[in-house]
Structure 1
Amino acid sequence: MESVSDVPLEVPVHHVSAFDFDDAFSDGDVNEIAYQFSPDAIREDISRNMPSMEAPWSDPEAPAPSNGFFKVEDLSVSTLDMNGSGNVSRSESPPSTPPRSSGRGSLELPAQFSQISLSQSDSGKENHHPAPAEDLPTYGAEIHPYPNIVIDASAGKSHSHRVSSTTDLQKRLDERAPSPPFISSERPPDSAYSTQSLPTPSPSHPLQPRPLSSSTTPTPTSSPSPTAPTFISNSTSIPSSSSAPQAQAQPQKPFGHRPTRSTGPSAFEKVRSKTRPIFLPPKPRQEDDKHMADWQSMMKLSRAAADKKRKALQERRLAREKHIEDSIHIWEKQIVPDWRVVHKNPNLRKLWWKGIPTKLRASMWERAVGNALSLSKDHYRTCLARAKRALASGVFPQSSLASIEEDIMTTLPSIHIFNPVNGPLYADLKEMLCAWVVSRSDEGLGYTPGAAKIAAMLLINMPIQQAFIVMRNLLERHCMRSFYGGEGSKEDVEAYYRIFDTLLADGMPKIYFNFKQHQISPSAYLNDWLIPLFLNHLPFEACARVWDVLLLEGDSFLYRAALGILAVLEPRLFFPERKELLELLKGENKAAIDVARREGRPLDGGKYEIYGVDEETLWERIDQMDEWWKESTWTRLLQRELPDL
């Protein structure tokens, strides 16, 4: 009687073999001869049931061989032998029935299988080599587009395993063995059966799962010889071997697309025309290159002309500022003692309109704005102390504080003195705005975005206590109070919109009808201009001059300056789409931004600088409005729209 360790264990892999339950479990099998579960018996039975060379492979009338335990219809079987046998056997037979799936899954295995040995045949043998490829049988072999891999791992961990492709072996076997009598031109259907023979558990060899990833996974190599075997060890690293030096020299390449290197212009670049629209036929290459060179030269000349124009404009601005500074003695003698004289003297009024000298701007602004609220010099300190107590106790509105921080971030970014990180006037600006919010809290008003621009302009020209008083009185003027008054002054804001619409229709009818055609009302753009007093859209020098006249003339000059801006933008306002027109009014026209970037102009100044709006062009349009602008028209419109004013 054979020992238990000599009996191999048959386990199915992926599929359960087809059992004949009448033969395997019936009571009539008592008198039959018991089947011997030994390697020799299995090999003898396989060799006895294997068809001869003369027998046809696809005879549908031939009965299926039976070994007394289970019936295997004409299907190929591959086994995994780990019982120490070094002989490699292979059995292939083209199936005559369609593949059958087991109850555990519907996986279909290919018809060509190879026996894989993963155990040592003899413990005493140190160097064990698999059977040569010439000894493999060639029954039923055919060229397969996807080669199978023969892996022999019968040696221990210290030995290397031989991996060879069955398609490579087929080329050698065809030279030695005759071809089978029948080879089907079609690919045989996959087999549905596969079993493995595993050794029985023993104290010295426990039955444990063994990782097969390193020995069962085919490794792609770049060996020049198709029949040269590749030796792979049990580990993931490839050991050095004299039999495969070329495979070791080249590392394994990752799967994926191979990178391509451009060796010149593509076929598309050769025919693409850069100077003609894509919906037209391309130009000849020589003509296209010539036109491209002409375009580049024109762009170079255009940039040179733009630089020359900017330099000339800068020179004129410097000359104008120098003229203003040279007239300071007139200001000190005639205007500083009594600024109201400018309303009586046209020459002094014209001098004021040209701009106030920087040295006198703080005192002239304070006098022109006045102190209608009768605020004391300590008013700022009182409001700031209340704001600090509110911040310390957490009573200060967090929404207003967040709006202040956000508004400061966009305040005069080209000057950089109000930057939250290293701006020297950032703390003063924030404290001034917090004090302004506290001073309005008694009226139930909060923070209005845009106030940071006005506070910043005042801080640049005067001390913080003086700037706070000027800011409070300036924003108490009726027009500015309406725009800063929140929901309570919504009706007054609508009245001011109607006044501007009437002035636009009288002075610039083309722009008025164009806006009406696109359904654009003054509320789409006038609010963004008046709340920050043009600081978001005009250059800083132009804004300073507008402020000089605004504080002298009052609210009427706000509308005159707004009309002057539209006069400068008039050539750009006739867009076929409403969206493009709104983008231009917001200072976000993509074409103008691209031109400014190409010319190297900064984009952190006024939004309308990209349209060519500067101090000189704006004041040219404002001076041209003297022909039709009348203060009586402004007064009449105020009485009609705001009778209670």
Structure 2
Amino acid sequence: MISTLDVIQESFEDVPLDTSSHPDNNITNTHNINQQIENTTPNSNSNSNISNNTKLYSHDLNNTNGINTANKYQYQPPHSLFVSSSSSSASSGASSPATRASSIFSRTSDISEISGADDEYLNPLSADAKLLFENKDYKLEEALQRMSMLKSMSHLCTKNNLMANNASHRNSDSNVSLASTLSVKSEPRSQYLSSTRPVNLPPKTKYEIAKHEKDYQNILEAEIYNEKEKLKDYQTKKKLLMAQEAKDEKLWLKVINNYDVLIKLPQTRELWWRDLPEKYRGKIWKRQLIGKKKLAFEISVLKKALNDALSTLSQACNLKSTKDELVKRQKEKANPDLLEDVRFIEECSDRLQYSFPEMKHFQYGENFDSVLQVLIAFRSLKNKNEKLESIDMLKTINLVCILTYVFDDSLVTLSCFISLLSKKLPNLMLCSDESQIPSDLLKDLEIQKSKSQSSYFGDIKDQFDKYLLQLAPRLYNHFIQRDINSLKIVKGLACCIFSNQLPFDVVLRVMDIYFFEGDILLLRASLALLKKISFKLYGSKEEVYDLLKVDGLINSNHLDVGEVDEFIKDIRDVLKKN
């Protein structure tokens, strides 16, 4: 397939790049889309049109006129903006106090310096090419590559026919003759070769050759036409989506200014199901999680816990960086609690390496240190609250990462994290153990008969099984046959609000809706997820539990649920009445 870089290199040879009239020097590969589509239309009349179209196609990619029009179709992959910023911040602050823990405990601290390097020897692309690759629309590029490939295939018949007709005028020993290329010893046979016929079969008649090549061209033209239509639909949807996002952002601003009144309107419910604006997400989450509620801890207590966490982190760094083994052992004996803190920090650091690794946002740098600070502070506070003391913190590391990214403030992150874990369903699922939610159905039935299991758990299981039977009866029967407890699956998914199972952008959208809809959203999302990936869940009990990470294991493999908007629609349609 033809890559964008190949087209750029050709255009640099044929057309000089004029950037003097563009002070921003902003280049994108989405300009003059319609012109590019026209240039990819197959034309089998002559070979000269091929090179002319290629030059014109290359010229369009480098033409920067009307750059504002192109940007409205620009698609950026999730987190493409903050990946580069986090890398540069990590490399620039490797020696600063804010990233000291990262340089000592993170396994990727050395890689961060390389990823943030701006050395022309390490990154040989020109400034124009860098801008092009940073701003490229991946879906658009795929469509253009497919059309370019089809265009090249459409000229295959014409090229081969011309080579076959000229074969009699060439030297039989020539390396460029079709006969020698196809290892055909008989020179007269080369004039009967066709791209639509294998060489080991008898040659076609002239009528068959003409008919089949015409059919071949028609098929390719139909495919190119379909690609054009898909691309036009994508452009239209993208334009409508961006217009809707701009409109929703203005509506959310009005809601924030009169929150208590407007948030109760049914029209506002449609807003949070569509998406929350990135610039207002932190304010809305804070209002929903804290608002006017009474906090589990006073602000002064939270601040003290964060300051103590910084001190603990600094002492752990000092102990870890001590090279003299004798001095190190003396410090460990003098402060045995510090050794336990170091072990906890090391365990959290290892888990952080698997927290949304595709983003490269939490594995090193200031974000790494901020997450550790919040975790250490929460560890010192959870023993002071009965609802929090039995929580397994290692299962909630991804939640802390998400809150750290949204709020970018340790105090707000800690207070919202405590409020989130105090909600009924996540709290019960995090605090429950094997004696309350066993891994198999037989023990679960025994617990229900002995009435040692709360009625809340029983109601959740009954309702979940009821709707799972309606949505995916085959999967429900498989769970019964394999002795798979659906309540344990709900526990593994709901306790961390899917942060251990789903990609970052999907979890953000799920949490957006959860803060408004409540615990029922977690059950609906669990049903939608099981239905979406049901084809992967017909294995043994251990395989199903490992795939869904019900035991809280964190790794870099996230479940693929497709496009975010489609999955959110699946969640909304789960319990919708016909």
> Whose relative contact order is higher, 1 or 2, with alpha carbons under 8 Å and at least 6 apart?
2
- The structure carrying a bigger helix percent of its residues is 2
Flag the structure with larger Rg: 1
TM-score interval (norm. to shorter): 0.3 to 0.5
TM-score by length of 1: 0.42
